[in-house]
Amino acid sequence: MDQNPVSYLPYPIRTFIRVVEAFNRKVGRFAMYLIFVMIGILLYSSISKTFFFPSLWTLEMAQFAMVAFYMLGGPYSLQLHSHVRMDLLYGSWTPRKKAIIDSITVVMLFIYLGVLLYGGISSTSYAVEYSERSYSAWRPYMAPIKILMCVSVFLMLLQAVAIWFRDIATILYGKKLENNI
């Protein structure tokens, strides 16, 4: 137990954690800038409605940008532990006890994300097969945003597995894994 617990993890698991977290970090950093895209769309919408003519596409496009911002940022948020957590008792627990509870509750997250991904894939295949469009006046195709949502849920699932591996290592070796494995 004198070494970093990461050295005890099998190489494929260390590689999985490293690759998933690096990829989600890049995607999350990219997603942070989508808020500026949404602001630009809404600014254009306000200016065009005030001075020129109202645009049909701006509201829905801003909603799509917000969905991309929220969904692509989710795995990165999970990685940074910046999600909402009830901290009444959790904050006073040891890292090992936290990891035990987290490794149990993450199973519920796996189930939730699995069902969400299953439904998302079903809805996306329908949107692709039948060229589903929105019911608005602009009528954009729905497949791109549904594909993005499925990819985001899949990335969230991969991140949850990486966190679960970290929790298992913490349980086995008593120390929390460092972020730079």
Residues 91-109 pLDDT 10s = 888 888 989 999 999 999 9
Q: 71 is in which domain, residue-wise?
A: 7-173
- The verdict on residue 14 lying in a domain is yes
Q: 107 vs 47, 98, 163, CA distance in Å?
A: 48, 15, 11
Q: What is the pTM of this model?
A: 0.86
Q: Which helix H or strand E contains 143, and what residues bound it?
A: helix 143-173
Percentage of the chain modeled with pLDDT above 70: 93
Question: For residue 78, which of 152, 1, 178 has the smallest C-alpha distance?
Answer: 152
- The verdict on residue 54 lying in a domain is yes
Is the pLDDT confidence value at 85 over 80?
Answer: no
Can you give the pLDDT at residue 1?
A: 46
Does residue 21 contact residue 79 with C-beta atoms inside 8 Å? yes
Lowest mean pLDDT among 29-33, 88-92, 100-104: 88-92
Domains in the chain: how many in total? 1
Ramachandran class of 178: left when φ > 0, alpha when ψ lies in -120 to 50, beta otherwise: beta
- The verdict on residue 62 lying in a domain is yes
As a whole number, the mean pLDDT across the chain is 89
Percentage of the chain modeled with pLDDT above 90: 61
- The verdict on residue 2 lying in a domain is no
CA atoms within 13 A on the CB side of 19: 7
Higher-confidence position of 122 and 10: 122
